[in-house]
Amino acid sequence: MPHSSINHSRIVALIWNIADDVLRDLYVRGKYRDVILPFTVLRRLDSVLGPTRDAVMAMKKMLDEAGVADQDAPLRDAAKQDFYNTSGFSLQDLRHVSNSTRMRQNFEAYLDGFSPNVQEIIDNFEFRNQLPRLTKADALGALIEKFLAPDLDLSPAGMDNHGMGTVFEELVRRFNEENNEEAGEHWTPRDAVRLMTRLMFEPIADAIPSGTYRLYDGAMGTGGMLTVAEETLKHLTELSGKKVSTHLYGQEINAETYAIAKADLILKGDGKAADNIVGGPEYSTLSNDAFAGQEFDFMLSNPPYGKSWKTDQDRLGGAKKIIDPRFVVNHDNDSEYSLVTRSSDGQLMFLANLISKMKQGTELGSRIASVHNGSSLFTGDAGQGESNIRRWIIENDWLEAIVALPLKMFYNTGIATYVWVLSNRKEDRRKGKVQLIDATEWFTPLRKNLGEKGVEVSSTDADKVLEAFKAFDEYQDTDHSKVFDGVDFGYHKITVERPLRIAGVDPHRVYTAKEIKQLKEDGVRDESAPPLIRKALPYAATPDPLHGRYEAVIDSRARVVEYEPDTELRDTEQVPLTESAGDYTDGIEAFFRREVEPYATDAWIDDSKTKIGYEISFTRHFYKPVPMRTLAEIQADIRALEAETDDLITEIAGER
């Protein structure tokens, strides 16, 4: 293990021991993080600010005397950092206060002295809420003393920014794994993140020129996806001698995880990036987009699965009144094409949010990697939000691939998960195509489960996924990778009607709506009765039985009429968009003549209800039938059962 890694592990162990030493009887183990994480941040910031503390105080005095209201920029300059503290205290000063009440007062003044960006971290950690308990147990002084121990060197001299970020992330990881119930909500396993970033960057690594790139995550959790993406991009481009700089942007609704993300960036010396992330309970990505109208080069996300977004829906005006251009778009000559999903699950809305931020005017455009559960592939009927999103994505030819991940990949769920890879600059061979990769068998078992997480995608496993992705339609293993035309996933949902037949109706007259209602209530259905006519079309109309326009005689004249449909006999069918027309006008008619008409000669298609839907079935495309047992195996099982039964009978007889 490299020396730096050994040092990081040692520091993490020391901080972990502080939690056990000081907080064991004050907090349950799952709540240690409420104190240890903010204290770790404070200790690092305190040591970084040490050399410029006097300069900051002098600048503060000068600005106050001059009556300057906006002091943030000059105080940052004085601190030579993107944060500062104007309290006049350091942790070293506080350790010498023996009175617990006075220590709390001074500590609160110390917290109040931090710059607004650090205040945001402290507030979202809700750290001040811990002070009464720590003071009452006289533990605040002990914590300060432990964090100032000489062997726990969190100063820049003892650890650079990157190393400090590594330590903090390791602490977060360990706390998340201690709280397996919560971990999956805010923490995507690093092996999954690395695979996602590789899928996003590696296929175009050679085409990425030197320059500045904007990275975005609309459900960033603790920010791990953004930082891993940044590291991956820099590593790939450095190998080819290119120089890239990155700007990170993110949004997160959970207060604590937002505080962790912001703190992590500041601890890494990236305070400007910390200013570009937004979060807290008032910042839900769906209803309060902090980056409206902005575009990004690379985007990735792990949105919440199966989580209600009803509150966001109401804030946006209600399901039928949403006008947000991220979710109501112009598609297929429909200027109000709705991407609004059911309120019970908004995960695909997060994907629509990412797509709305794709760059349109650059050579590389944008690439997206987003992980979803299986419902994103097939839920939602034709014309509903989920299906509309899939259709919108595929018909715009943005979807490059979907990768099925192994089961038991995440901390709090063992369900199937899938990485969607999107681009608005597909290479020529991928245009009009979608690749499905079944990577469910490419995993490495963990020696010990972490909650529900029992496997990981090692670098070797990830290499297999990237090999299949890059080979595309030349990949030889069709058990694990298949390429389809985008249209293969689409279908027409048609509504098949049959006429209402009521005993005693007159086949030569048109019934009014009131009469039809009465017949439905009082009449007797009779399959041998004539169809009930609800409408006579103009004399120029032509018959079209396929679409419910029939010939009849009304008042001794031939007319084209429409029958009242029988709702009890109504049915729907899915007709693939790829259905061959054969000898008919289109695939829908061919399907109807073959699959419906022979069994219901009086049926027709209600064109007004026909809708286009899209769904993607990994199960169907990668189905592996279980081999049937041989007759010999079945016979052996039967004989074994017979022998067991004979033994039981003998035993019972013997007891008698």
pLDDT of residue 506: 94
pLDDT band with cut points at 50, 70 and 90 for residue 546: very high
Given this model, what pLDDT does residue 172 score? 81
Q: Which two tokens stand for residue 158?
A: 């003892």
Q: Residue 166's pLDDT is what?
A: 79
Q: Is the pLDDT at 577 greater than 50, yes or no?
A: yes
Residues 565 and 525 sit within 8 Å (Cβ to Cβ): no
- In this prediction, residue 655 carries a pLDDT of 63
Q: Coil, strand or helix: which one is 146?
A: helix
pLDDT band at 4 (very low <50, low <70, confident <90, very high): low
Beta carbons within 10 angstroms of residue 590's beta carbon: 17
In this predicted structure, the answer to whether residue 503 has a pLDDT above a threshold of 70 is: yes
Task: Report the pLDDT value the prediction gives residue 19, as an integer from 0 to 100.
Answer: 87
Does residue 3 have a pLDDT over 50?
no
Contact 220, 261 (CB under 8 A): yes
Enumerate residues 6+ apart whose C-beta is below 8 A from 320. none
Q: Do 215 and 246 touch, CB atoms closer than 8 A?
A: yes
Neighbouring C-alpha atoms within 13 Å toward the C-beta of 570: 9
Instruction: Work out the mean pLDDT of the chain and round it to a whole number.
Output: 91
Which pLDDT belongs to residue 327?
Answer: 96
Determine the average pLDDT of the residues in 358-373.
Answer: 95
Res 165: pLDDT: 80
User: Average of pLDDT values for 5-11?
Assistant: 76
- Per-residue model confidence (pLDDT) at position 183: 40
Residue-level pLDDT at 2: 42
What are the helix (H) ranges across 25-99?
33-49, 53-66, 72-79, 91-94
Mean pLDDT along residues 136-164: 88
In 3D, which of 390, 294, 317 has the Cα closest to residue 351?
Answer: 390
Rounded Cα distance between 447 and 454, Å, is 8
Q: How confident is the model at residue 584 (pLDDT cuts 50, 70, 90)?
A: very high
Q: Is the pLDDT of residue 175 over 90?
A: no
Q: Does position 586 have pLDDT exceeding 90, yes or no?
A: yes
| CB burial string 142-167: b at 16+ within 10 A, e below | ebbebbbeeebebebeebebebbbbb
pLDDT class of 127 with cuts at 50, 70, 90: very high
Q: Is the dihedral of CA 83, 89, 91, 92 positive or negative?
A: positive
Rounded to whole angstroms, the Cα distance separating 450 from 414 reads 11
Give CA–CA dist 537/549, Å, rounded: 9
Query: For strand 399-404 and strand 433-438, is the pairing parallel, antiparallel, or unpaired?
Result: parallel
Integer-rounded Cα radius of gyration of the chain: 33
Residue 411 has pLDDT above 90, yes or no: no
Are 147 and 43 in contact, with CB atoms under 8 Å apart? Answer: yes
Dmax of the chain from CA atoms?
A: 109
Q: At which residue do the structure tokens 């004399």 appear?
A: 539
Using pLDDT thresholds of 50, 70 and 90, give the confidence band for residue 182: very low
| Residue whose tokens read 């805010």 | 186
221-279 per-position pLDDT tens digit? 888 899 899 999 999 998 888 999 999 999 999 888 898 888 888 888 777 788 899 99
CA distance 422 to 525: 53
140/98: higher pLDDT: 140
pTM for the full model?
0.86
The yes-or-no verdict on residue 312 having pLDDT over 60 is yes
Q: What is the mean pLDDT of residues 288-307?
A: 94
pLDDT in tens, 50-76: 999 999 999 999 999 999 999 999 999
Q: Helix, strand, coil proportions of the chain in percent (round to 5)?
A: 45, 20, 35
Q: Is the pLDDT of residue 296 over 80?
A: yes
Residue percentage of the chain with pLDDT more than 70: 96
pLDDT digits (tens, 9 = 90+) for 198-232: 999 999 999 999 999 999 999 998 888 998 999 99
The residue among 193 and 9 whose pLDDT is bigger is: 193
Q: Which residues contact 289 (CB under 8 A, 6 or more apart)?
A: 251, 324, 326, 353
Bigger pLDDT: 364 vs 4:
364
- Which candidate, 465, 453, 347, places its Cα nearest to that of 403? 465
Higher-pLDDT residue of 630, 321: 321
